């Protein structure tokens, strides 16, 4: 029996032209359908391109998309997967400088920091409140959000392609 369906979005915030077909091939391979994406220039990074792809597929597809794109050093992207029956949502963010970050998300897209991660931050930060803050910012992915935010706003009004795979 196939897994439950969920939805998500692949945001490629910036990619060099040479990687565009590779991103499409990777997304097609994970989604099992042809993904010909509508690329537009990324004004924040001259010479780079951006796209968005909304998808509907089995639970875990977000992780598979993020893994398929991981390792391409010049790629900035985010993958989101909505929570679905019995499974929390997720967000994967990647930047060339920071690598990949994963967080569990709630139905509103908020990052959820597990209790044990908070306890570890408190235990590792015995010297100052600044240490606690730094550990919690790491748990929230603040550095990834800070780096990706200009690229997110540059995408306002960009075309979105919907792909659905059932079964």
pLDDT digits (tens, 9 = 90+) for 8-19: 999 999 999 999
Q: Looking at residue 1, what is its pLDDT?
A: 43
Mark 96-117 as b/e (b = at least 16 C-beta within 10 Å): eeeebbebebeeeeebeeeeee
- 86 Cβ contact list (under 8 Å, min separation 6): 4
* % of the chain residues with pLDDT over 70: 89
């Amino acid at each position: 029996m196939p897994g439950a369906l969920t939805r998500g979005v692949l945001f490629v915030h910036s990619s060099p032209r040479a990687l565009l077909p590779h991103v499409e091939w990777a997304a097609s391979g994970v989604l099992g359908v042809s993904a010909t994406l509508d690329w537009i220039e990324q004004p924040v990074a001259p010479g780079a391109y951006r796209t968005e792809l909304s998808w509907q597929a089995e639970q875990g597809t977000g992780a598979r998309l993020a893994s398929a794109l991981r390792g391409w050093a010049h790629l900035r992207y985010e993958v989101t997967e909505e929570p679905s029956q019995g499974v929390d949502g997720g967000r994967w963010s990647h930047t060339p400088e920071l690598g990949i970050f994963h967080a569990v998300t709630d139905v509103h897209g908020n990052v959820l920091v597990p209790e044990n991660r908070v306890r570890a931050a408190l235990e590792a930060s015995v010297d100052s409140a600044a240490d606690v803050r730094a550990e919690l910012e790491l748990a929230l992915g603040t550095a990834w959000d800070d780096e990706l935010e200009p690229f997110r706003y540059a995408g306002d009004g960009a075309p979105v392609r919907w792909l659905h795979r059932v079964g």
